[in-house]
Amino acid sequence: MKKYLIIIAVLFIGLVAAVFQYINTFQSEIAEAYQASKPTTGHAWSEMQCTAGICVTAGNKVGIGTDNPSDKLNVVGNVGVTGTITGGTDVCNGAGACLSQINSFIGSTALVNNVHNYAACTAAGGTVVDTDVSFKQCRFDSTTCPSGWAQYKSYVTRIETTCVGSGGSYQSGGGYAVCYSPSNCTVSGSAWANQGIGTCSYIGAFPYTGCSPCCSSGTCNGNINQIGCY
């Protein structure tokens, strides 16, 4: 009987030792995990919580890329935004520069020759585009500039245009004379450039009696669908 009691005591002591060893190992693993994930030196968990570079302080300040945010949201690094900033609140930096000021600043920028600005171009239905100087001009989807605007050089977008000449005949003194050389011509279309409407010459016939040689040349003007103005 005494032998069995000794065996039970040994087993109990071994079990207790195993339990203590497990507790010590578990505590070590917890400490290692804490050391690996705790905030940077100088901060404690009671002060902030950090996860994957995002920290929230006890004062409800959020830091991205920093563990010491000075504002409600403090981002260290570039910020990309997809969508629209909603809520009606402007976004400003600490110096008072705000997103709302950007449109105002851009709108007040002068176009070439300093007659109109970007905002006036947009308000008139145009688009601000590059030009051949350090300033820009306003492009309208039109054949002419709006009232109060003038064309800048010969900037246009041109549509291909064909003019048709036609032969004809006339009667003079009992005989007939015929225009044998009618011809067509085409002004090519072209993308936005300082090029003007473009012209070409065609040959047509006079429809009245007594002409000689009954043919004449005509000028064909190209059509435009966009024009640059200032």
pLDDT of residue 152: 96
The pTM (predicted TM-score) of the whole model is 0.51
Lowest mean pLDDT among 34-43, 108-117, 215-224: 34-43
Q: What is the mean pLDDT of residues 71-90?
A: 71
pLDDT tens digits, one per residue of 155-190: 999 999 999 877 655 445 445 555 555 678 999 999
Q: Are residues 31 and 60 in the same domain?
A: no
Structurally, the chain folds into a number of domains equal to 3
The answer to whether the bond into 146 is cis (omega within 30° of 0) is no
Q: Residue 183 gets which letter from DSSP?
A: B
Domain match, 131 and 204 both: yes
Rg (CA), the chain: 42
Identify the pLDDT of residue 170. Answer: 47
Euclidean distance between CA atoms 156 and 221, whole angstroms: 13
pLDDT above 70 for 76 = yes
Residue 54, domain member (yes or no): yes
pLDDT at 192: 96
Q: Is residue 92 part of a domain?
A: no
**pLDDT tens digits along 39-53:** 555 555 555 666 666
* Alpha carbons 196 and 154: distance in angstroms, whole number: 5
Examine the domain organization and report whether 171 and 69 are in the same domain. Answer: no
Residues 116 and 195 in one domain: yes
Question: What are the tokens at 28?
Answer: 């070590």
225 and 139 assigned to the same domain: yes
Give residue 65's domain range.
40-75
